[in-house]
A and B are shown apart, each in its own frame.
Chain A
Amino acid sequence: MGHTFTIGIGGAAGQGVATPGDIFAKIFSRRGLHLNAYNAYQSIIRGGHTFLTIRTGADPVTNMGDRIDLLIPLNQDTMDRHLGLLGEGGACLYNADTIQPGTHAEGVQLCALPVSTLADISRNKVAQNTIAIGAAISMMGIGFQSLEDVIREQFGRKAAAVADENVAVARAGYDYATQNFRPFARPLPMSDNRYAVLSGNTALAMGGAAAGVKFYCAYPMSPSTGVLHWMATHAREAGIMVRQVEDELGVVNMAIGAAQAGVRAMCATSGGGFALMSEALGLSAMAEIPIVVIDCQRAGPSTGVPTKTEQGDLWQMLGAAFGDYPRVIAAPLDIADCFTLLAEMWNLVDKFQVPGLVLADLLLSEGRLSVDPKVLDFAPHVDRGEMITSPNGGPGEGGYKRYKITESGVSPRAIPGVPGYTHVVASDEHDEDGVLISDMFTNTHKRRAMMEKRMRKENGIAAAVAPPKLQGPADADVTLIGWGSTQGVIEEARALLAEEGITANQLQVRWIVPLHGEAIVEQLKNAKRTIIVENNYSGQFARYLRSETSFVADGHIRKYDGEPFMPHHIVEAVREQLAGGVTLSVPVHEIMV
């Protein structure tokens, strides 16, 4: 990754941290720059401490990085907590009327803004924020016009007078900074590229829509609620039936009801909601009704930390529902992949008539990333599998058997209401035509045959999904193994390690089930030192990999404080482990949020 520039904006919830973030994101993406934004916050409507990190650069920006270049504290608390993060060349823009700076590192520029003399603060409650944005834009070497455009867009034509006033306030900050502060050493570059800025939740929702999801239902639960918001906002124009349901039991069963009628039906939740959905995953598998369930993981157990990230639901997902059944589980690697994965997942679950589970997390769901629109395929290939939606001459000799025993384990699926193809769908074990075999007499031979029929789908699913590939030099000093959302941060850590002369490669797992354990072990067999990196306490993926393959990694880097990894966490842990004696590193998160 080339040069990047990072802004940290902090304040209490309700102080308006989000708006400057949105403005900066718009300005950066319109300059043709990549960006990554991550908001650390708490479950509170007013108060608490919110800290938004927005990082930009000409190359793809995959994570929030290690350094802050510009700090904008909207209150004293933020100043006190974060001024120490700034290093040489950094700057802090603050309201001199209300905030006192503390001790700071050498070479940090303290930029005191005389807010009450620059704006009428009795009229404009967020004047300090707007002035700070104006000043920041000036110091980054960006022309004022790009800020003015975004402000005018925000207020719209109806509120032209309010827009004028805010433009004037921003201008005052811009001019004051031009006259009084030292600009950053490297002005922000520009390019002709144009990126869309998406949150993971938006990408999941749009990915579903592009895949032809016609039914979406959910119970609000952080951090998955953004998917519901997108769906509800765009239901009408996108032609999707969207319902908010009483609880997750209702949600998942409603999706199953809609799916058995013939539509692609999806739902998203977090760990607690997913726990309630477990029961129904068995129904989906037993009745062979494909659905997609997204779990946007947050820090557990129980209510846990609703606004913090974790990769802690892996074993819940692996163990969800009782009995053995085929299913697909995947963890998207970044926000763009949240979009891309859904079309792939839908084709798989439709083809094999199994539940499909997506293991996202708060970092992806609520983070924002610049995405090249070219990677978002709005008309992905749709394969509904073997579906019977019209009589077409009828089922022929012997009649229709919904659960016909086949080589692949997949039986052609008729939707309700097709004459000649009516059948029984049952959660009880059943025979080929759907008749319950738990009634009157259980039939051991039929039970075994049906069990084997369903489980045979695993072969087809495995063949349809590629094993993960080692990224980076084959003979690296260290091999970092991650899964899901840690792709970007591990990648950057590898680049930083290379600068120190430590070569690292990476095996990032996207498909959890099927895992392709043998292929993984094959790729790891020549690794000099393997370290598994994951955002949880017990090394859930390490345990899974070991249970599937007997592979035991040399070391582990784990983080379970609620915040995501920063590149230096991994770099320092690798250094520590290579030095010897340490096999488990638990990096400390220095930013107190």
Chain B
Amino acid sequence: MATSSAPTPKVNRLGLQVLDYRGGKTTLCAGCGHNAISERIIDAMYEMGVQPERVMKLSGIGCSSKSPAYFLSRSHSFNSVHGRMPSVATGALLANKNMLGLGVSGDGDTASIGIGQFVHLMRRNLPLIYIIEDNGVYGLTKGQFSATADIGSKLKSGVINDLPPIDTCSLAIELGATFVGRSFSGDKKQLLTMLKAAISHNGTVMLDVISPCVTFNDHEGSTKSYKYMQEHEEAISEAGFVPSFEDISIDYDPGTTYDVEMHDGSHLRLRKLHDDYDPTDRVAAVKALMEAHANGEVLTGVFYIDPHKPAFTDMLNMVDDPLATLSEERTRPSKKVLDEIMAEHS
């Protein structure tokens, strides 16, 4: 008699199941784009075989910033203050550069109260994946416009936004981020591919993910609704990803596809969907963003990538070991050094 045993659960290269990457039960609204993003983060971390304990989740305040509780329960998490995650992340990763930093922010957290911190973070090229869960409104305070809301877009109450949006992607490109893209929480394949490539990158990854707010910004007149995104999303390229631990001999057409070798040996393949697309050209990237915006399209995909620029932590002449775990005798200047310094004062 044939016996059927329970199917062996699927595991990744570390022998971990997708379960090992899950988090607590979400408290966000059903259908919130942020939940879909959490799911893609779980998938990307699982598929890339990242040791969960090596991840440091960082966030600010807002609906977006709550979401780290809903993925990677086995990772360290720091829920900081509104708009201040960029500096907390910088300090944390300078003190322990062995951690993989994953920052989750929102459009209010990034583009308003934290814009100063965001701008300076982008300049540093700190090795950090910085995700903006972008819905154009403040959810927890019940639906005021944020600074990424499009001019002319309408609140449920009928209020029209009278100021132009801040485009976090063109800002990030101009300021020196080395991996900049936009995606849509409803575009599973694109978002997952971009997140996997992000994990392979050594430098600042800035991903603006349009993530509709079903409660306050999913109506007619919103430019951050599911419907609007389905009608206006325009991908600049189609992304494929081959991780370093898989066979990379899959064919591609160099005439239509950019092959980017990532820091860890993985390959990001970007098939052109726009004629003059060149993900290594910052000026072209910003131009494409501005043109799409003028045409009422929401451009998505990887806009700009530079896998070669040294990351902040590589430029600072730090010791190989993380500062946070140096032994006590190494945390203080030697007597010789202090004696030399004292000699200057006598």
B90 in the interface, Cβ–Cβ < 8 Å? yes
Q: How large is the interface on B (under 10, 10 to 19, 20 to 34, 35 or more residues)?
A: 35 or more
A257 contacts B79, CB within 8 Å? no
B96 contacts A253, CB within 8 Å? no
Extra contacts, 16 of them, besides A254-B90, A261-B324 (Cβ < 8 A), are: A215-B323, A237-B337, A241-B94, A241-B95, A249-B87, A251-B87, A257-B88, A257-B94, A258-B91, A265-B95, A378-B332, A415-B96, A415-B324, A426-B78, A427-B79, A439-B66
A residues lining the B interface (CB < 8 Å)? 29-30, 194-198, 202, 206, 209-212, 214-215, 217, 234, 236-241, 243, 245-247, 249-251, 253-265, 279-280, 283, 287, 373, 376, 378-379, 382, 389, 415-419, 422-428, 434-436, 439-440
Q: A29-B346, A241-B94, A417-B96 are in contact. Are A254 and B88 (CB under 8 A)?
A: yes
A3 to chain B, nearest CB (A): 23
Task: Give A253 to B96 CA distance when docked, in angstroms.
Answer: 16
Most chain B Cβ neighbours within 10 Å, of A210, A217, A249, A257: A257
B19 to chain A, nearest CB (A): 16
- In the bound complex, residues from chain B placing their C-beta under 8 Å from that of A237 are 333, 337, 340-341
B334 to chain A, nearest CB (A): 9
The listed residue (A253, A379, A416) touching B56 by CB distance below 8 A is A416
Task: Give A78 to B234 CA distance when docked, in angstroms.
Answer: 72
- In the bound complex, residues from chain B placing their C-beta under 8 Å from that of A415 are 96, 324-325
By Cβ-Cβ distance, the 4 closest A-B pairs, closest first, are A257-B91, A262-B324, A261-B95, A258-B91
Please choose the segment from B30-38, B68-76, B130-138, B156-164 that sits at the chain A interface, where 4 or more of its residues have CB less than 8 A away. B68-76
A-B contact pairs, 19 of them (CB 8 A): A30-B346, A239-B330, A241-B323, A246-B117, A256-B91, A257-B58, A257-B87, A258-B94, A261-B99, A263-B95, A263-B331, A280-B84, A416-B99, A417-B54, A422-B75, A424-B69, A424-B76, A425-B76, A436-B79
- In the bound complex, residues from chain B placing their C-beta under 8 Å from that of A378 are 332, 335, 338
Q: A246-B116, A262-B325 are in contact. Are A195 and B346 (CB under 8 A)?
A: yes
A253 contacts B346, CB within 8 Å? no
Query: Which of chain A's residues has its CB closest to B66's CB?
Result: A439
- In the bound complex, residues from chain B placing their C-beta under 8 Å from that of A422 are 52-53, 74-77
The listed residue (B24, B80, B338, B341) touching A253 by CB distance below 8 A is B80
- In the bound complex, residues from chain A placing their C-beta under 8 Å from that of B81 are 253, 279-280, 283, 427
A199 to chain B, nearest CB (A): 9
Most chain A Cβ neighbours within 10 Å, of B52, B87, B93: B87
- In the bound complex, residues from chain B placing their C-beta under 8 Å from that of A217 are 91
Q: A234-B341, A249-B117, A416-B76 are in contact. Are A262 and B95 (CB under 8 A)?
A: yes
- In the bound complex, residues from chain B placing their C-beta under 8 Å from that of A29 are 346
B92 contacts A258, CB within 8 Å? yes
B328 in the interface, Cβ–Cβ < 8 Å? yes
Contact mask for chain B residues 129-171; partner A; CB cutoff 8 A; 1 contact, 0 none? 0000000000000000000000000000000000000000000
Task: Give A75 to B338 CA distance when docked, in angstroms.
Answer: 39
Please choose the segment from B195-203, B255-263, B274-282, B312-320 that sits at the chain A interface, where 4 or more of its residues have CB less than 8 A away. B312-320
B326 in the interface, Cβ–Cβ < 8 Å? yes
- In the bound complex, residues from chain A placing their C-beta under 8 Å from that of B333 are 209-210, 234, 237-240
Query: Which of chain B's residues has its CB closest to A376's CB?
Result: B342
A197 contacts B346, CB within 8 Å? yes
B residues lining the A interface (CB < 8 Å)? 24, 27, 52-54, 56, 58, 61, 66, 69, 74-81, 84, 86-96, 98-99, 116-117, 119-120, 316-319, 322-326, 328, 330-333, 335, 337-338, 340-342, 345-346
Most chain A Cβ neighbours within 10 Å, of B78, B80, B86: B78
Query: Which of chain B's residues has its CB closest to A419's CB?
Result: B53
A212 contacts B332, CB within 8 Å? yes
The listed residue (A243, A283, A424) touching B94 by CB distance below 8 A is A243
- In the bound complex, residues from chain A placing their C-beta under 8 Å from that of B342 are 196, 373, 376
Task: Give A238 to B330 CA distance when docked, in angstroms.
Answer: 10
Task: Give A376 to B56 CA distance when docked, in angstroms.
Answer: 39
A250 contacts B95, CB within 8 Å? no
Query: Which of chain A's residues has its CB closest to B328's CB?
Result: A382
Task: Give A240 to B96 CA distance when docked, in angstroms.
Answer: 14
A196 contacts B345, CB within 8 Å? yes
B193 to chain A, nearest CB (A): 27
Task: Give A340 to B78 CA distance when docked, in angstroms.
Answer: 33
B27 contacts A417, CB within 8 Å? no
A259 contacts B76, CB within 8 Å? no
- In the bound complex, residues from chain A placing their C-beta under 8 Å from that of B79 are 424-428, 436
- In the bound complex, residues from chain A placing their C-beta under 8 Å from that of B92 are 257-258, 260-261, 416
Task: Give A428 to B325 CA distance when docked, in angstroms.
Answer: 27
Task: Give A427 to B84 CA distance when docked, in angstroms.
Answer: 11
The listed residue (A198, A202, A211, A265) touching B91 by CB distance below 8 A is A265
- In the bound complex, residues from chain A placing their C-beta under 8 Å from that of B86 are 250
Q: A210-B338, A257-B92, A261-B92 are in contact. Are A425 and B77 (CB under 8 A)?
A: yes
- In the bound complex, residues from chain A placing their C-beta under 8 Å from that of B116 are 246-247, 249-250
A196 contacts B346, CB within 8 Å? yes
A121 to chain B, nearest CB (A): 32
Task: Give A415 to B77 CA distance when docked, in angstroms.
Answer: 11
Q: A202-B345, A209-B332 are in contact. Are A417 and B95 (CB under 8 A)?
A: no
Task: Give A239 to B318 CA distance when docked, in angstroms.
Answer: 8
B50 to chain A, nearest CB (A): 13
B345 contacts A249, CB within 8 Å? no
B153 to chain A, nearest CB (A): 29
Query: Which of chain B's residues has its CB closest to A424's CB?
Result: B77
Q: A253-B88, A264-B331, A425-B78 are in contact. Are A436 and B69 (CB under 8 A)?
A: yes
Task: Give A376 to B93 CA distance when docked, in angstroms.
Answer: 32
A483 to chain B, nearest CB (A): 27
Q: A198-B345, A247-B116, A283-B81 are in contact. Are A253 and B66 (CB under 8 A)?
A: no
